[in-house]
Amino acid sequence: MLWSKQYAEFGLSDIYEKVQNGERLSYEDGMRLFECKNPLAVGALAFSMRLRLHGKNTYFVRNRHINYSNICLINCLFCAFRRKENEEGAFTQTHETILEKVCADDGIPFAEVHVVGGCHPTLRLSWFEELFKKILIARPKAVIKAFTAMEIAYFAKQEKCSVLEVLERLKLSGLSMLTGGGAEIFEPVLRKYLCPNKISADEYLSIHGTAHSLGLKSNCSMLFGHIENFAQRVDHLCRLREQQDKSGGFVCFIPLPYLPQNNELSGEYQEKLAKIFDNAQFKNNSDVHMGLERLRTIAIARLMLDNIPHIKAYWVMLGVKTAQAALAFGADDLDGTIVEEHIGHMAGANSSQALTRTELEQMIKDSGLTPVSRDPLFRKTAQ
């Protein structure tokens, strides 16, 4: 661990003191951390905060991802998952198929069933209400974590009702938590380029606030490494922190690196837009540099989000090795067994489809940390 005098060499002695004293970092502090020439120093500071919050406890969950469909009416430039109806590669799973997957390996006590897809043109809210009830009959001890804020807004539009009513209905059918996806990057001009048909940042935050008011918890996220700059990352983190001050229901922050394969944003178009928006990542886009910047972003998230308990190193999109390294940069959670995942892998994730409980535990132990099995709400479960 670096000491205060060593942080003075990087111009971070005041930030070091704030972190050690449990004081909130400012937007300007966040920018200075991104501009620091030594990302390892930033990582060490984040690790010290992580140790203060969680000790060596490092979390994982036995979970099953269900991507119910990739048919979606919303066209986001960065998305490799989305298909039009009747397009090659489009799929929609039936209740029966989903339940077969949920019930597979019946001896494994999944703590979480994670359900997410897109804005499907014909699937209605009642279809999901029925599905959730069936899942809980099949897996009565599982917690259902489902849907992005965009999906919730879409259901409200379909049903011609309020977001509150949608969430109340889903809660009655068994929903416990929102996934937190779909935040992307909050800066409005960038959103017009990246996902012009998606809900605004204000709507995303409002939907999560409404969920929290009903006692539902949620994760939150940020998609980074595309055309945004450091200032926009810090702004995004500050807005999540402000919402948490208001509603208090965010359990975990998920930093999601942009994966460039099989989508409209990748290649020359991404580089052109990134330069327009002054994205510093294109000054050096080597694998080593990009890996360090991903780790730095995770570390800064830990330091800025003082009121969000957990930071996830999502191994599916980071890759196993980077996710493991992130445990030394402030992350305290690896997500889980997953079993089957489409969204990240269709965008070029080269990680496996699943990890076993033993593999997750070994990743944590090899980092000198203590594995803790959890449910989606970070309640400890039997190992």
At residue 112, φ and ψ (nearest 5 deg) are: -145, 135
Name the residue among 245, 254, 224 with its Cα closest to residue 61. 254
Instruction: Identify whether the C-beta of residue 266 lies closer than 8 Å to the C-beta of residue 260.
Output: yes
Number of C-beta neighbours around residue 156 at 10 A: 18
Hey, which residues does 257 pair with through a beta bridge? 224
Write down the residue that tokens 């919402």 correspond to: 243
* pLDDT, average across residues 330-351: 69
List the domain boundaries for the chain.
57-374
d(CA 313, CA 80): 21
CB 82 within 8 A of CB 72: yes
Least confident of 146-155, 215-224, 276-285, 322-331: 276-285
Closest CA to 212 of 23, 377, 26, 37: 377
Pairwise pLDDT comparison (278 vs 377), residue with the higher score: 377
Tell me the mean pLDDT in the region 347-371.
Answer: 82
Binding-site residues for [4Fe-4S] cluster sit at 72, 76, 79
Report the pLDDT value the prediction gives residue 344, as an integer from 0 to 100: 46
Rounded distance, CA 157 to CA 171, Å?
Answer: 18
Q: What's the confidence (pLDDT) of residue 280?
A: 52
Nearest to 132 by CA among 163, 167, 106, 82: 167
Reference 76, options 205, 266, 219; nearest CA is 266
pLDDT score, position 331: 99
Average pLDDT, the chain: 91
Please tell me the distance from the alpha carbon of residue 243 to that of residue 253, in angstroms, as a whole number: 13
* pLDDT-based confidence at residue 267 (cuts at 50, 70, 90): low
Residues of each annotated binding site for S-adenosyl-L-methionine: 78, 184
Q: What is the mean pLDDT of residues 277-300?
A: 74
Please say if the pLDDT value at position 102 is more than 70: yes
Q: Which two tokens stand for residue 28?
A: 């300007």
β-pair partners for 357: none
Buried residues in 275-296 as b, exposed as e (16+ CB within 10 A): eebebebeeeeeeeeebbbbbb
pLDDT value of position 260: 83
Q: How far apart are CA 193 and CA 183, in angstroms?
A: 14
In angstroms, rounded to a whole number, what is the distance separating the alpha carbons of residues 198 and 74? 7
Average pLDDT over residues 253-266: 88
Q: Under CATH, what is the fold of the domain 57-374?
A: TIM Barrel (3.20.20)
Instruction: Say which amino acid occupies 311.
Output: I
Query: What gap in Å lies between CA 297 and CA 226, rounded to an integer?
Result: 13
Environment class of 196 (CB within 10 Å of its CB; exposed 0-12, middle 13-18, buried 19+): exposed
- In this predicted model, what pLDDT tens digit does every residue of 5-41 receive, in sequence order? 778 888 899 999 999 999 999 999 999 999 999 999 9
For residues 226-238, average pLDDT: 95
Calculate the CA dihedral of residues 313, 317, 322, 324 and round it to 10 degrees: 40
Residue numbers in the known binding site are 72, 76, 78-79, 184
Q: Whole-angstrom Cα distance, residue 181 to residue 316? A: 14
What number is the average pLDDT over the span 225-237?
A: 95
Residue 380 pLDDT: 95
pLDDT in tens, 116-175: 999 999 999 999 999 999 999 999 999 999 999 999 999 999 999 999 999 999 999 999
Strand partners, 60: 373
Give the global pTM: 0.93
